[in-house]
Structure 1
Amino acid sequence: MVIHIETAVHQVIRVLYPWLRIQEHKWVDLISTLGKYKPKLHHHIVKWELPMTGSLKCNTDGATKGNPGPSFYGFCIRDHKGDLCYAQAGVLGQTNNVQAEARAILEALRYWVTTVDAEKVLETDSLTMINFIKGVWRVPWEISEIVEEIKTMIFKQGVKIQHIFREGNQLADFLANHAAEIDRKVEYQSFKELPSTGRKIINTDKQQIPTLRIRTRKINHHQA
């Protein structure tokens, strides 16, 4: 089957830029249209928000070096002032991205529900996991047991789980990648014990300094 180059390029454009309405099929016209295209930029202000007084917030993240590949997790618990109560990062072995995010949430809950007696809010930048836990999407068989354990602990402990854009989840992200660098489990009981990068992130979050999230497509508050 022979496909003309103009037709192939037009199909690629439709896939990569579905919001563009391009009628031209000739090569010269396609190049001209794309050359004039100036994408509209959408922005959204993102920041890690302080929990309410009397509440604690836990942020989680999973990191995979390959998909699948060596995987790691990180989570951190902070109070209403933004001060660190506890942080942990560790090695998960060979998993894919979704499994790493699920295990990160599970590790956080296993620690949290047995050691902390306070109102709990858990945040993850994985909208996929949020949809699995809330029953919006069908759970893959390979993480079905993990998700069930997560849901059980959330229900029994009254944990509120919510999505946050990755720009507001920087401390958990740092911890997961830090575990990848040192390739072992670590725990931090205080701000002073954290590596300097982690301390800088905490100080930024405490000051409620926002990050600007910029995309060429409209940013939905419920999208990652």
Structure 2
Amino acid sequence: MASSCASSVPIFAFLGLSPLRPKAPRFIPVAWQPPPHSWVKVNTDGSFHNANQAGFGGIFRDERGFFLGAFSYKATAFSAIEAELLAVIEAVRVAWLRGWVNLWLETDSSMVVHYFKERNLIPWRLRTSWGNCHQIVSQMYFYISHIYREGNSVADVLANYGAAHAGSHWWDSMPQFLVSSFGHDLNSRVSYRFA
């Protein structure tokens, strides 16, 4: 047994690899959480493959995790962060129009969370829209948080739908293509992120 282990060391050296095992991966549990009583939670996401294939989407849910509505748009965007920002701008606009003024917005983009603190970093094409979004948010009870993408799968499905389908879409009842990922969240099932 010792001779076979010893003979493998030169192979590692020849390939420029260490025979030592790398550090074991960490598994981070990720689960979608409902908002507090009388709040609405919206999860948003952007999808960007290229300027001709970009989209964004979002889903609104109540304190029990029940479906309130969802949107998906084909986007005119020139980067992934623009698609993410467009999703947030639309989510805030819809919430305001529907009177959902206790709003928890959750995104898998840590940059979007940062942009709420540093407005001057926004891409210039979106500065006016972002300023309008901030004006609405200032009149709401508003909270924003980051979630790993493993916990944002429903919004991801909507963003990809937007990238693949022309126009804008709003659903008052849940579309069939969301049922599986929505059920995963509603049952508080845990996904794992490998770090």
Indicate the TM-score class for this superposition, using the shorter chain for normalisation: 0.7 to 0.9
CA distance in 2, matches of 1:89, 1:30: 48
Pairwise CA distance, 1:119: 1.8
Length-normalised TM-score, structure 1: 0.75
Q: In the alignment, which residue of structure 2 is the partner of 1:79? A: 62
Residue in structure 2 matching 1:45, options 17, 26, 29:
29
Q: Does residue 65 of structure 1 match 2:39?
A: no
Q: In the alignment, which residue of structure 1 is the partner of 2:3? A: none
Q: Is the 8 A contact 1:71 1:180 kept in 2?
A: yes
Identical aligned residues as a percent: 24
For the aligned residues, what is the CA RMSD? 2.2
CA distance in 2, matches of 1:185, 1:58: 17
1:54-133 alignment runs, 5 A limit: 54-66=38-50, 68-133=51-116
2:16 counterpart letter in structure 1: I
Q: Does residue 180 of structure 1 match 2:159?
A: no
Q: In the alignment, which residue of structure 1 is the partner of 2:181? A: 201
Q: In the alignment, which residue of structure 1 is the partner of 2:7? A: none
Length-normalised TM-score, structure 2: 0.85
Q: Is the 8 A contact 1:133 1:147 kept in 2?
A: no
CA distance in 1, matches of 2:146, 2:39: 17
Q: Is the 8 A contact 1:83 1:202 kept in 2?
A: no
Which consecutive residues of structure 2, in runs of 5 or more, have no partner in the other structure? Answer: 1-11
Q: In the alignment, which residue of structure 1 is the partner of 2:5? A: none
Pairwise CA distance, 1:78: 0.4
Pairwise CA distance, 1:95: 2.3
Q: Is the 8 A contact 2:42 2:103 kept in 1?
A: yes
Q: Is the 8 A contact 2:29 2:190 kept in 1?
A: yes
Pairwise CA distance, 1:152: 1.7
Q: Does residue 167 of structure 1 match 2:147?
A: no
Which SS does the other structure have where 1:95 is aligned?
Answer: coil
Pairwise CA distance, 1:170: 0.8
Pairwise CA distance, 1:183: 2.4
CA distance in 1, matches of 2:72, 2:146: 20
Pairwise CA distance, 1:42: 1.4
Q: Is the 8 A contact 1:82 1:202 kept in 2?
A: no
CA distance in 2, matches of 1:80, 1:140: 34
Pairwise CA distance, 1:181: 2.5
Q: Is the 8 A contact 1:72 1:91 kept in 2?
A: yes
